[in-house]
Amino acid sequence: MPEAIREYIDDAMATTARRADRPAIMHGDRVLRFADLMDEVHRLAHGLEALGLRRGDGLGLLAANPPEALTIRFAAFLLGLRFTAVHLGPTTQGLAHIMRDAELTAVVFDPVRPAPGGPVPQLAAGIPHVLSLDDMAALAAEQSVEPVSARARDSDIAKLTYTGGTTGLPKGVPTTYGRLLASYRSWGFGDIQVPDDLRLLAVTPTAHATGDMAIGMLMIGVAVELHDEFDADAVLGSLASGQVATYLYPSLLYRLLDHPATATTDLSNLVLLSYGSAPASPSRLRQALDRLGPVLQQTYASTEAPAIAMLYPHEHKAELLSSVGRPLPGVRVDIRSADGRSLPVGGVGEVCVQSSSVMAGYWRRPGETAMALRDGWLYTGDLGRLDEDGYLYLVGRVKDMIIVDGHNCYAAPIEHALTSHPGVRHAAVVGAPSERTGEEMHAFVVCEPEAVIDTEQLRAAVHEQLTAVDVPAAVWFVDALPLTTFGKPDKAALRAMIRSG
């Protein structure tokens, strides 16, 4: 039986050939046409082979969003390498752990964007080949543009992605080429009718979901415009011409909405704004719909399961804005109690997932794999419920459930109640020990500029929408919420603030 990933790559090569003279990757003043892109990919593939890398070897990349973040990844896929995009957010300890744990044969780094903890060559001690982007470019320049045939097999590991490490050292999640292809199909890549002027605006790190999204788009002939980081003015400027799709964390979507120029900018070129990686406030989504129109699409996924559910643009109705959508085709979702029983509609429990894109296990961690994968199901660690129409609602994390006087309380509904107040811009809720009730809830709130709000107003807003037990015991007013590298509120940092007083 032919390898599906090789057929997919062959089809992608044919697509890029048909679009040879069209822009493929844009980064500042630099533009690569599809013909330039494929020449560069083949040169890089030959260069990696010249270093001795072969199918199954590990290749790491530490970079933000230069074009090489995509061309090197593309070359790695051609050769059937095990690719690890190392995001620049981990702690020094976490980054050093990834460099050791990933079993890399080579690592390429961007000297312009230094990694935390010191020079990359020092962190990469023991890795046979350590090259800067300039070194890699010089090596590629010496190579032929002779096409490299796809080497990958469906069962080979395509990428080794590391979790955020918010509860310990990052864990590696291997994804085979077959599972990666299943994810692309779940996302609808290959089913898109591509307008000639459509491009993906990539403003979040390509080491995260944006990297896979960008490669998937390039393979169907969609251009990618890379930005080194999110800047609202730059995003609005990019909407001046051509049709644009983009992916934002909710925190970045809020920054776009809050930018003064958004209210006066023509946004008709924005055809799709996908968002995910963190809970989104229904009240902020209503603002986004009013300003941006019916272009929002929520994606629920995780490192362990890269395609779970989606709330499509036509489903962004008022009653569904707190949902993450329905399971994607080929995905089964079950809500289970702490003792593993399936719960009926409306019951709150752990979200469990089955699909062809779910990980086969953590990298070199059999014990943690056994905890996460049970009876053929991935236990996501997320708490949620399903409604009678199959829509999934997340209410928090299993480890973040707050037990107040014996009652299970969940952060998400309380955060939604807080952000429904017109004077609240952002909110996050965590638990803290209490001598009286076992645990109590603390809310961290970012107010709208010039808003005058007191604690009792917010407590009353929660009481009105939920129950007395859901009312926060304390409200902290802060200028900004600390965020993880994935754009989520950093609840460990918030708990540390409580402990330090």
409: β partners: 402
Residue 362 near residue 369 (C-beta atoms within 8 A): yes
486 band by pLDDT with thresholds 50, 70 and 90: confident
Residues 102-111: tens digit of each pLDDT: 999 999 999 8
What is the rounded average pLDDT of the residues 379-398?
Answer: 97
445: β partners: 427, 477
95 band by pLDDT with thresholds 50, 70 and 90: confident
In the predicted structure, residue 477 carries a pLDDT above the cut 80 = yes
Distance, in Å, from the CA atom of 32 to the CA atom of 438, rounded to the nearest integer, reads: 59
What is the 3 state secondary structure string of 40-68?
A: HHHHHHHHHHHCCCCCCCEEEEECCCCCH
CATH code: domain 4-21+31-178 is: 3.40.50.12780
Residue 110 near residue 66 (C-beta atoms within 8 A): yes
Residue 72 near residue 136 (C-beta atoms within 8 A): yes
Residue 60 near residue 108 (C-beta atoms within 8 A): yes
- Whole-angstrom CA distances from 405 to 200, 246, 402 are 49, 44, 10
Token look-up 């940092």 returns 493
Residues 141-184: tens digit of each pLDDT: 999 999 999 999 999 999 999 997 766 789 999 999 999 988 88
Q: Class for domain 401-500, per CATH?
A: alpha beta
pLDDT at site 26: 98
Q: Characterize the bridge pairing of strands 377-386 and 349-354.
A: antiparallel
Q: Which residues make Cβ contacts (< 8 Å) with residue 428, sequence separation at least 6? A: 411, 415, 443, 444, 481, 489, 491, 494
Question: What's the N-to-C CA distance of the chain in angstroms?
Answer: 63
189 band by pLDDT with thresholds 50, 70 and 90: low
Three-state DSSP state, 21 = coil
125 CB neighbour count, 10 Å cutoff? 10
119 band by pLDDT with thresholds 50, 70 and 90: confident
Token look-up 């989520």 returns 488
Where are the strands (E) in 122-262, listed by range? 129-132, 157-162, 172-176, 199-202, 223-226, 244-248
Domain with CATH 3.40.50.12780 in the chain: 4-21+31-178
Q: Which amino acid is at 257?
A: L
In the predicted structure, residue 190 carries a pLDDT above the cut 60 = no
In the predicted structure, residue 367 carries a pLDDT above the cut 60 = yes
In the predicted structure, residue 9 carries a pLDDT above the cut 60 = yes
6 CB neighbour count, 10 Å cutoff? 18
What phi and psi, each to the nearest 5 degrees, are found at residue 84?
-125, 110
pLDDT at site 2: 75
Q: Which amino acid is at 41?
A: V
Mean pLDDT score of the chain: 93
pLDDT at site 309: 97
| Tokens describing residue 243 | 């049709």
297 band by pLDDT with thresholds 50, 70 and 90: very high
| Tokens describing residue 209 | 């979901």
pLDDT at site 179: 92
In terms of residues, how long is the chain? 501
The string of DSSP codes covering 341-380 is PBPPTT--EEEEEE-TTS-S--TT-HHHHHHHEETTEEEE
Domain with CATH 3.30.300.30 in the chain: 401-500
Residues 33-47: tens digit of each pLDDT: 999 999 999 999 999
What is the rounded average pLDDT of the residues 353-367?
Answer: 96
pLDDT at site 185: 79
pLDDT at site 96: 85
Task: Name the percent of the chain lying above pLDDT 90.
Answer: 85
pLDDT at site 478: 98
